Amino acid sequence: MSNVPRENWKKFSGWYEEILLKAEIYDYRYPVKGTGVWLPYGFELRERVYSYLKELQKKVGYKEVLFPTLIPEDLFRKESEHVASFEKEVFWVTKGGARELDRKYVLRPTSETAMYYMFSLWLNSYSDLPLKIFQVVNVFRYETEATHPLYREREITTFFESHSAFATADENEKEVKLAVEIYKEFFDWLGIPTIITKRPEWDKFPGAVYTIAFDTILPNGRSLQIGTVHNLGQNFSKAFDIKVQLPDGKVDYVWQMCFGVSGRVITALLTIHGDDHGPVFPPHVAPIQIVVIPIPYKGFEEKVLSKARSVFNELKEAGFRCILDDSPETPGAKYYKWELKGVPLRIEIGPKDIQEERVTIVRRDTLERIRVMERELISSVKETLEKMWKEMKEKALNFFKSKIVNVKSIDEAKKALDEGCVIGASWCGNEECGINLQEKIKARILGIEVDQDLNPQKAFSSVCIGCGSSAKYKIIIARSY
Ligand code: ZN
């Protein structure tokens, strides 16, 4: 590892990309721009992360499905705002073999139009509701800017999209709040701090009534959108003619919402907890939690190795995901290798440890060495992992808080943004003022900050930062990916 400080703005993407390859997570050298390959170690990480989110959603009634990748042009064009926004960035399928197709297809950029056609066939009565489904698929967007592995791609991997339909606006609104709760729980489980905002009108999901977004802050001070929740109202149900008969006999369009996350969650996980030696995985997510490394010494080779084996077996029996590295490499080379893989704990066993009936535990995050009695191995490992995780979360949260600054003037805003911060400001709520402000400070208004119940946060200053008129809301502004 070339010791690239992750705080360094210019070298940030160098650090990140090096980690993806060297830790064997994701290989982006595939010869199609903006695509990549999940490697076995990365895939296992991805599985662990997404299985928790699946579990959270299944608990509240979501069922997993799988829709086709191809969407016929006429379906794609049904919701006008949606198509206007996505049209420029979709991949078209226009030929089948040598023949031009009469009916063109798009490769799904997201699945509303594919799913809601089927909803119109499935839903007839209020008793068919609520309908709650999700799928984990790849989606395609013809990205014209520079692409980056996992956070700006043409084939977006691991798009975890959830869609639901309800009989009333009220139930639908409640589901939006429930989805926000689910994501809060999910990101907290990963130790990824987030700001929740309501996206401005000009930046909401095309076809939505409104969009709630989760953004995190990367080590270089840029924000990364990692989850969104959209209230679609009846916009899509009207376009796709999804109607049900209600208990009072009347027929009405259903109310819909959807929410999604993508491989960006992995980008956040790697960069937020990582350091100059590589990633540091939360113990409950790490594909390998503990590596046992024998430190051979002349005359003690057999003893050391047999002790290492018994320690490894004891850990394995206690349910830890662990490996024994008894390869012929030097201990130093092994430290380097497993640090780079983000393995939370390393246990070293040398002649001195054997003499004293101890083992040496090394924490990946602090590289702190802790010597414990061998008979207390399991309890010490559990305790160390718990303490480590608690401190990792605290560290991430403290860093996050230190990166958000409230400002009152354009000059203060520019200065804070240039210093790699995300800013809070007071705003009037006027769209034209917002768009001008974005241009003046060369940054993006993420949205109006909201609390858990989606109530907008009030302005902390009486004057709008953009136009000087009376301020209503607190907004969050960032240089974003
Ligand atoms: Zn204003």
Beta bridge partners of 292: 324, 347
Distance 284 CA to ligand 1 centre (A): 45
pLDDT for res 79:
86
Ranges of H-type helices in 373-426 = 377-402, 410-418
Those residues of the chain that have pLDDT short of 50 are 1-2, 9
pLDDT for res 7:
56
| Residues sharing a CB contact under 8 Å with residue 292, sequence separation 6 or more, in sequence order | 308, 311, 312, 315, 322, 323, 324, 325, 346, 347, 349
pLDDT for res 366:
97
Distance 296 CA to ligand 1 centre (A): 69
Return d(Cα 225, Cα 211) in angstroms, integer: 12
254 CB neighbour count, 10 Å cutoff: 28
Distance 429 CA to ligand 1 centre (A): 6
Residues 35/140, Cβ–Cβ less than 8 Å: no
Distance 404 CA to ligand 1 centre (A): 21
The owner of tokens 């700001």 is 195
Return d(Cα 346, Cα 333) in angstroms, integer: 13
Question: C-alpha distances in angstroms, 266 versus 90, 139, 157, 356?
Answer: 24, 17, 11, 41
Residues 198/448, Cβ–Cβ less than 8 Å: yes
pLDDT for res 5:
57
pLDDT for res 11:
57
Distance 459 CA to ligand 1 centre (A): 12
Residues 359/353, Cβ–Cβ less than 8 Å: yes
- Which residue, 290, 247, 264, is CA-closest to 183? 264
| Residues sharing a CB contact under 8 Å with residue 195, sequence separation 6 or more, in sequence order | 214, 215, 216, 217, 223, 404, 422, 446, 449, 476
Distance 441 CA to ligand 1 centre (A): 14
Report helix, strand or coil for 470: strand
Distance 177 CA to ligand 1 centre (A): 28
Measured between alpha carbons, how far apart are the two ends of the chain, in Å? 25
Cα dihedral 162, 164, 170, 176, rounded to 10, equals 0
Residues 348/360, Cβ–Cβ less than 8 Å: yes
296-302: long-range contacts, CB 8 A cutoff, minimum separation 24 = 297/350, 297/351, 300/351, 300/354
115-141: pLDDT as tens digits: 999 999 999 999 999 999 999 999 999
Phi, psi of 82 (to 5 degrees): -60, -50
- Residues 113-144 as b/e (b if ≥16 CB within 10 A, e otherwise) read bbbbbebbeebeebeebbbbbbbbbbbbbebe
pLDDT for res 1:
42
Beta bridge partners of 109: none
Distance 472 CA to ligand 1 centre (A): 9
Whether omega for the bond prior to residue 130 falls within 30 degrees of 0, making it cis, is yes
Distance 337 CA to ligand 1 centre (A): 53
8 CB neighbour count, 10 Å cutoff: 12
Half-sphere exposure of 7 (CA within 13 A, CB side): 6
Distance 103 CA to ligand 1 centre (A): 47
**Roughly what angle, to the nearest 10 degrees, separates helices 264-273 and 377-402?**
100
- Which residue, 106, 111, 61, is CA-closest to 88? 106
Sort 108 into a burial class: Cβ within 10 Å, 0-12 / 13-18 / 19+: buried
List residues, by chain if needed, whose CB lies under 5 Å from ion ligand 1: 428, 433, 464, 466-467
- Domains defined along the chain, listed by start: 12-272 (3.30.930.10), 290-384 (3.40.50.800), 404-478 (3.30.110.30)
Q: Using CA of residue 466, residue 468, residue 469, residue 471, what is the dihedral sign?
A: positive
- Does the predicted TM-score (pTM) go above 0.85? yes
SS3 readout for 200-248: CHHHCCCCCCEEEEEEEECCCCCEEEEEEEEEEECHHHHHHCCEEECCC
* Strands lying side by side in the sheet with 63-64: 63-64, 131-140, 155-166, 255-261, 223-233, 210-217, 195-198, 444-449, 473-478, 422-427, 404-406
Give the DSSP letter string of 259-309: EEE-THHHHHHHHHH-BTTB----TTT-S--EEEEE---TTTHHHHHHHHH
Distance 206 CA to ligand 1 centre (A): 24
